[in-house]
Amino acid sequence: MITILGVLGLGVIFLAAGSIIVLRMIGKDRGQPAFRKIAAFDGLKKSIGLAVENGTRTHVTLGKASLTQSYNPSALAGLAALERIARISSTSDRPPIASSGDGGLTLLSQDTLHSAYRSVHAPELYDPGRGRLTGITPMSYIAGMLPIATGEDVSSHVMIGNFGPEIALVTEAAENAGAFSLAASDSLPAQATLFASAQEPIIGEELFAAPAYLEADRGHAASLQTQDILRWGVIAILVGGAILKMMGIL
């Protein structure tokens, strides 16, 4: 049986989807919209550029969420960021490495790298060995990442996905190696750990803004604009409800 809340929920979903489509179409000829400055993403762009110039690698890790789990969208944001990083780094002698703790994510990371190199007309750069399953349990996943952090000339780490507090072992290894680290997670324990240990921690919904700030696709920018529209809508409803309550209408 469909409830009023269910109908409202579907309405919001259709409104958001329609807004993204319209804003994407409108923005095709307008370029990247202006977003507020986030120092972490500025630092990431700089670190990717330095990695290309210095002949070092960027390591992107996508977490351990299964494709069937509800907290998988954080890994999808990481995949979009990986695709953009691979394209930016296509002129480097050392292409980026992707790691994950789930077999499905590993296959998606390999496909993402393949797609990125085809988009820049350099399919010969693709190597499936750069999309790695480092472990299928939380600790083995982290343990498998440590050799990447310490032994493969990695100068920047991008950690976007679902992690546990054990991710601090990777940020510590990055710190000891003098590497840049940007980290974001949908897990509260991981957020607390990364806030204290990562060089540039991303908190909350800014996790999903990473692809837009890296200019991965116009659709990601449109999704951020849609979020702002929905926020203003919620604010208008709350203020309007408060005014109607004061007037005794509600």
Average pLDDT for runs of 10 along the chain of length 250: 69 75 69 73 88 90 85 85 89 89 93 91 89 92 91 90 92 91 91 91 83 71 77 86 82
CA distance 155 to 178: 7
Task: Report pLDDT for 220.
Answer: 67
Interacting residues of 127 by C-beta distance below 8 A, sequence separation 6+? 95, 113
Tokens representing 153 are: 């000339």
The dihedral formed by the CA atoms of 111, 113, 114 and 117, expressed in degrees to the nearest 10: 160
The dihedral formed by the CA atoms of 190, 195, 199 and 203, expressed in degrees to the nearest 10: 80
From residue 104, alpha-carbon distances to 98, 161, 186, 190, 246 in Å are: 13, 14, 19, 22, 53
Task: Report pLDDT for 157.
Answer: 93
Pair 209, 44: CB distance under 8 Å = no
Beta bridge partners of 48: none
CA distance 134 to 76: 18
What is the residue extent of each domain of the chain?
39-217
Task: Report pLDDT for 225.
Answer: 76
Tokens representing 204 are: 């909350």
Pair 78, 160: CB distance under 8 Å = yes
Q: 39-217 belongs to which CATH class?
A: alpha beta
Beta bridge partners of 163: none
